Amino acid sequence: MTLSGRLGGAQTPMLHFIQFAATRAALAVITLIMVSFIVFSLMELVPGDCAERYLAFKNTTGAQISIEDIEAERVRLGLDKPYVVRWGVWIVNAFQGDFGDSCILRLNISQLLGEKFWISLLICLTSLLLAYLIAIPVGIISATSKSPIVNNSLRLVSYLGLAMPNFLLALMIMLFSTMVFGDSLTGLFSKEFRDAEWSYERVMDFLSRAWLPIFILGWSATAFAIQTVRALMSDEVGKLYVLAASARGVSGRRLLWRYPARHSLGPIINSLGFDLNRIFNELPIVALILTLTEAGALLIEALARSNDQQLAGAIIFLLTASIVGINFVTDIILALTDPRVRRSILG
């Protein structure tokens, strides 16, 4: 059985790979469905439903509202259907990118979020990329370096990254820049570009301001990443195959890069999703401090000020969906580069 299995695997690696990808995709969808259940239940837990809120708003404009009106509105919005049905409808629409209307703002959520969500995702992914661009070389150096100065200073940096959460860092930078430059460096766009169409000038304006949130969000991610890379590398460096390679005459950067680094980068690719998760955790608070106008700020707005559960649910679902997406992509990348991973899933 094992023989034929192995032969089968060897004969059709393509089929093997497709099978693996399909399994992972199915797992991702199941995760998303479970997450949507959590998010949807949370939305349902809020006292009062959309119909009541909508009519309460109408009431403020002077119209007389009766219980029958509320019931009629419930039927119109489909709120009279059982829980599971509504969840089903919500998730089917959510997978098509439609989250319905926010009943507080009475606007379509997809339109409201649209660009803002992509900007947030872009900022987060850029800071993640930045974190690893710094962490991989630095981590490798610190794992192989014997110099106590290098090691201790890197240790200090990573401890500071852990102890100084991003929002405190953001606060400190604001304090500093207000005292020194007299400008708090907040916002994502200058006034004249806030609602303008995308153009070259708007992109440049965005870039001139986006570096700060990117730096702040990347701060503790970098500290974490350096620690991970360092730990993985120090585990690998002492192993026999590295010694064997150096005995064969490979040395210096070439040795590190071809042998231990390749092994230790696998788990890092695998954990990208969780790094993104950590960055998302900080996003709303950093957004609040820097008064950014993107999804994180909208989430705070939706939760802290207006109790807008549809909007909050949509944002949390989208954030989670992007993490699940990243996890899926990294798994595929890993499987493409590392056959051991494929085997571990398919047995």
Partner 1 sequence: MSDTAAAADTDANVDQSLKEAYFTASQGQLIWARFKKQRAAMVGAAVLIALILAGLFAPFLTPYDPTIKGRNPDYQNGAPNIPKFWDENGFSFRPFIYSYERTRSIETNFRWVTTVNRDKRRYVVLFPEGDEYTLLGIKFNTHLFGVDEGKIHLFGTDGTGKDIFSRTFHSINTSLAVGTIGVLIAFVLALIIGGISGYYGGWVDSILQMITDAVRTVPAIPLFMAIAAFIPDTVSSEGRFFIISIILGFIGWPTLARRVRTHLLTERNQEYVLAAQLCGAPAGHVIRRHLLPSFTSYIIVDLIISFPYMVLSETALSFIGLGLKEPVNSLGVLLQNVTKADVLLNYQWNFIPVIFFITLVLAFVFVGDGLRDAADPYADTKK
Q: Which residues bind partner 1 (CB under 8 A)?
A: 30-31, 34-35, 38-39, 42, 45-47, 159, 162-165, 167-168, 171-172, 174-175, 178-179, 184, 273-274, 277, 280-285, 288-289, 299-300, 303-304, 307, 309, 312-313, 315-316, 319-320, 323-324, 327
Q: Which residue number, 148 or 249, has a Cβ lying nearer to partner 1?
A: 148
Coil, helix or strand at residue 222: helix
State the nearest-atom distance from the C-beta of 274 to partner 1, in Å: 8
Q: Which residue number, 95 or 274, has a Cβ lying nearer to partner 1?
A: 274
State the nearest-atom distance from the C-beta of 168 to partner 1, in Å: 6
- Paired strand residues for 55: none
Q: Which helix (H) or strand (E) holds 108?
A: strand 107-108
Q: Which residue number, 77 or 185, has a Cβ lying nearer to partner 1?
A: 185
Q: Which of 240, 275, 337 is nearest to 124 (CA)?
A: 275
State the nearest-atom distance from the C-beta of 86 to partner 1, in Å: 18
Q: Which of 221, 252, 241, 264 is nearest to 132 (CA)?
A: 221
Q: Which residue number, 65 or 105, has a Cβ lying nearer to partner 1?
A: 105
Q: Which residue number, 135 or 295, has a Cβ lying nearer to partner 1?
A: 295
Q: Which residue number, 260 or 313, has a Cβ lying nearer to partner 1?
A: 313
How far apart CA 35 and CA 320 sit, in angstroms, is 8
State the nearest-atom distance from the C-beta of 211 to partner 1, in Å: 20
CB 109 within 8 A of CB 100: yes
- Paired strand residues for 107: 102
State the nearest-atom distance from the C-beta of 223 to partner 1, in Å: 11
Q: Which helix (H) or strand (E) holds 97?
A: none
State the nearest-atom distance from the C-beta of 188 to partner 1, in Å: 16
How far apart CA 87 and CA 96 sit, in angstroms, is 14
Helices 2-11 & 13-45 angle (0-180, nearest 10): 90
State the nearest-atom distance from the C-beta of 33 to partner 1, in Å: 9
How far apart CA 169 and CA 157 sit, in angstroms, is 13
Question: Which amino acid makes up residue 33?
Answer: I
- Give Rg (Cα) of the chain: 25
State the nearest-atom distance from the C-beta of 38 to partner 1, in Å: 6
Question: Which amino acid makes up residue 251?
Answer: S
Residue in this structure with the two tokens 């005459």, named with its chain if needed:
249
Q: Which residue number, 132 or 280, has a Cβ lying nearer to partner 1?
A: 280
Residue in this structure with the two tokens 């210096």, named with its chain if needed:
252
State the nearest-atom distance from the C-beta of 158 to partner 1, in Å: 9
Coil, helix or strand at residue 98: coil
Coil, helix or strand at residue 251: coil
Give the DSSP letter of residue 102.
E
Q: Which residue number, 159 or 257, has a Cβ lying nearer to partner 1?
A: 159
Q: Which residue number, 38 or 244, has a Cβ lying nearer to partner 1?
A: 38
Phi, psi of 210 (to 5 degrees): -75, -15
